Amino acid sequence: MPPNDVERIAAIEDPFQLLRVATERLNAAQQEVTELSRLRRRVIQDLHAQGMSYAQIAKEAGLTRGRIHQIRHTGPAPEGAFFGKGTITLATPLKREAHQARPVVAMEDVTAAKRLEDLVRGFDLSMELEHVPLGGEINLNRPNLVVICGPKLSPVMGELYERDPVLEWVKQDVWTLRDGRTGESYRSGSDDDPPHPVDYAYFGRLPRPDGNGNVLVFTGIHPQGTLGVVQLLQTEVAALWGQVADKPFSTVVSVEYDVDTGEPVKAELASPLYRHEEA
């Protein structure tokens, strides 16, 4: 914290305001330290992956080899930046209850949110939860935003998905996902006759409407697909970060699930992982 900030805060006469301002500034400073530590570890990993030894990196950086090795293996993991920085906002949709027409959150979305929150906290990130209201209005022009919602429940999200240059949602007799590059269509097994326990999910990072950042989005054709994306993130986020970092992308995730519990048994990419800068 710059000395002038400390002096400015110390000069506040109201003790309660001083406590509030000091706490806010300290939280911001701690977040900055976390992100700088993450960035430093990522640079060392990248340089080492390019063939430099820890001794060479240490020499160029003016640090000891032991310190470089320590930074490389401690602190927040670089792949946490896949979700954003600092505090992540996760939005899940409200749905209309079938019998009493009350707004409710699907149990699968609650489960997905809890598992995702546990995952991001492991990367020294925090998470705030909110809901996409009935009608689907949501402000997408915010940093560090993750949305679990499809076009069925939100016209705003439908417009966002239309920004994808490769994949699209198609509504015929049922919702499907279509790959414009390969012509492949992905239809949930639960919509077949006879049904079988396979679902598909959209997973991507799309440009915000204001053009000043991106939004991480995912949702299954049915709720089982949503849980499958979370499972994929739990096991493959480092690989995903290595392939797309914080850039726009999209893919279709195939999810095999237990027919009795709805829990994902296997989650994997069903389509190529499309980097939109190359699309």
Instruction: Report the pLDDT value the prediction gives residue 68, as an integer from 0 to 100.
Output: 83
Given 3-state DSSP classes, what are the helix, strand and coil percentages for the chain, each rounded to the nearest 5?
Answer: 40, 25, 35
219-271 tens-digit pLDDT: 999 999 999 999 999 999 999 998 999 999 999 999 999 999 999 999 999 99
Query: What number of CA atoms fall less than 13 Å from residue 51's CA on the CB side?
Result: 0
Instruction: Report the pLDDT value the prediction gives residue 1, as an integer from 0 to 100.
Output: 46
pLDDT tens track, the chain, 279 positions = 455 788 888 888 888 898 988 888 888 877 787 778 778 888 887 887 889 888 888 888 888 888 887 887 776 788 999 999 889 999 999 887 666 667 777 888 999 999 999 999 999 899 999 999 999 999 999 999 999 999 999 999 999 999 999 999 999 889 999 999 999 999 999 999 899 999 999 999 999 999 999 999 999 999 999 999 999 999 999 999 989 999 999 999 999 999 999 999 999 999 999 999 876
Cα distance between residue 72 and residue 70, in whole Å: 5
Q: What does DSSP assign to residue 209?
A: T
Cα distance between residue 276 and residue 248, in whole Å: 6
CA separation (Å) from 17 to 1, 14, 20, 38, 75? Answer: 18, 5, 5, 32, 33
Cα distance between residue 207 and residue 246, in whole Å: 11
Write down the pTM of the prediction.
0.80
